[in-house]
Each structure stands twice: as structure tokens, then as C-alpha cells.
Amino acid sequence: GQAGVKLITYPKDRIFYVSFNNMTTGKGKPTMDPRVRRAMNYAVDVDAIIDALFDGQGRPATGLVMSGNFGYDKAAKAFGYDPAKAKALLKEAGYPNGFEMKMAGPTGAYTNFEQVLEAIQGFLNDVGIKTDLTLMESGKYWDLEAKKQLPPLFGDIWSETNGESLERLKGSLGGTDASYSSWEDPKIKKFLADIGSTVNDAKREQLYIDLQRYMIENPPFIYLYEPMAFEAINPKVKGYLPRPAEDYYLKTVSFQ
């Protein structure tokens, strides 16, 4: 490395996940049961995906509030890889032999995302869930997503620039009110409305934490990862704070 240059890494404000759809194509499917959705989270080895496809540079997501955001639940733990637990939950939900389901993803949009979805397909298959994966050109994909015509499982990502997760949560979980949402849950919508109208920071933070805990019990997604950013910092620069939002915040910066 270059002398005197410090390398810093931090998670970007992007969260990758697989969406469950309970509004259109996923209606009446096994994924309507929260035990099945938790099982599918336990079935996927996110750490192995980060190691194999991103040289270990990523962080397992614990929900849709990312680690650098206001209101992040510091006690949150990723589901982790537990295929035995996944199988037990599937059995409890009435699917001891798994089931079949369609899944989709965009091509050429995000680094190695096609391989990520293929890896997920393999992990789900290991617990008896057979997915028919369709990869399609991203423009067509987002068009189908806006029309709510993607299959019951589809890969997605949401990035934010304002340091809070509310827009990402509303956009992906706003039900009929949000063009790219595939999930309708009145409890989640109530949380989002309350967060949006609460001015007191401590109360707002607690609402975010309660929502994150609810979204572990009732996951609307298979939570995947936050990618890492790398920056080289010249030691003469003082007061620079990296921002996960991938834009640069230079108000506090001086050069000495």
C-alpha cells in the first residue's frame, strides 16, 4: 500500500434481498406462512455467498434497516445458516418434503447477482424447496416488478441516500401504495406511518427497533447482504466521515 494513506471500509447503504410476494403471484402459496419464510432465511448461507462471490467483503443483512442507519437495532443478529432449523420449520408448517416455486432475478444490474441467486437456489434445494429461476434483462424485470407481475420470489436491492431506512421500507413494503412493493402487511404499514409522524428521536428509534424485531418474526424477505465500500484517505484530511449512502458529505472536512 501507499505510505501514509489509510484504507477504510464500511458497508454501503444498499441491502440485497429476495422478496416474497403476498399481493399477486404469491397469494395462497406456502410462503404466506411466516414459518416458511423464516425457514428460507435459515436455509441460505449468506456468509458463504459473501466469501465465495465477494471475497468476504460484505455484511449479512439483519433486516431492511442497514447497520449505518438511524434506528438500527444493535442487538439484531442475522438469521445465520441453519438447514436443520429450516427443515424443522418447514415440517411444522406442513411442508416436510418442501415445495416448488418460481423465482426471478435481473441480469447485468448488480455485481455477481445472477450467481447469488443461483447459490440461493442451491441452498433452498438442499432443504427440499425447488425453485424454477428465470433471469431476465433488468429493464423488463423492473417493468414487471412495477406491474406486480414477478413470481412469488424475486431478487432485489434498495439503496438509500438520506441515512434513514424509511423510504426503502415504504418503497418495498408499502403494499398497494408503493409501485415496487410486493408485500402488504397492515402491522408494517402502521409502523411506517408511526415512524413517519414521530418527531421525538428516542421514540422514533424505538419504533424502528420494534419494526425490525417484527420483521425477523414475520420476514417479508430473505435478507442477504450489505456490500462493502473501500476508500483511501490521505492522512492530511481531517474530519472526513464516510457515508454509507455513496454520496460524499464534505461539510466537516478540512485539509491540513
- The single-letter code of the amino acid at 160 is E
Residue 162: pLDDT band (50, 70, 90) is confident
CA–CA dist 211, 190 (Å, integer): 10
Residue with the bigger pLDDT between 2 and 250: it is 2
Cβ atoms of 18 and 221 within 8 Å: the answer is yes
For the cut 60, the answer to whether the pLDDT of residue 71 exceeds it is yes
Average pLDDT over residues 95-111: 96
Percent of the chain with pLDDT over 70: 86
The yes-or-no verdict on residue 250 having pLDDT over 50 is: no
Put simply, whether the predicted model's pTM sits higher than 0.75 gets the answer yes
pLDDT confidence of residue 100: 98
Q: How many CA atoms lie within 13 A of 20 on its CB side?
A: 25
Q: Which of 153-157, 179-183, 231-235 has the lowest mean pLDDT?
A: 231-235
Is residue 1 over pLDDT 90?
Answer: no
Nearest CA among 217, 159, 177 for reference residue 12: 159
Residues 186, 190: Cα–Cα separation, whole Å: 6
| pLDDT-wise least confident of 45-49, 148-152, 202-206, 233-237 | 233-237
The pLDDT tens digits of the residues spanning 176-188 come to 989 999 999 999 9
d(CA 150, CA 155): 10
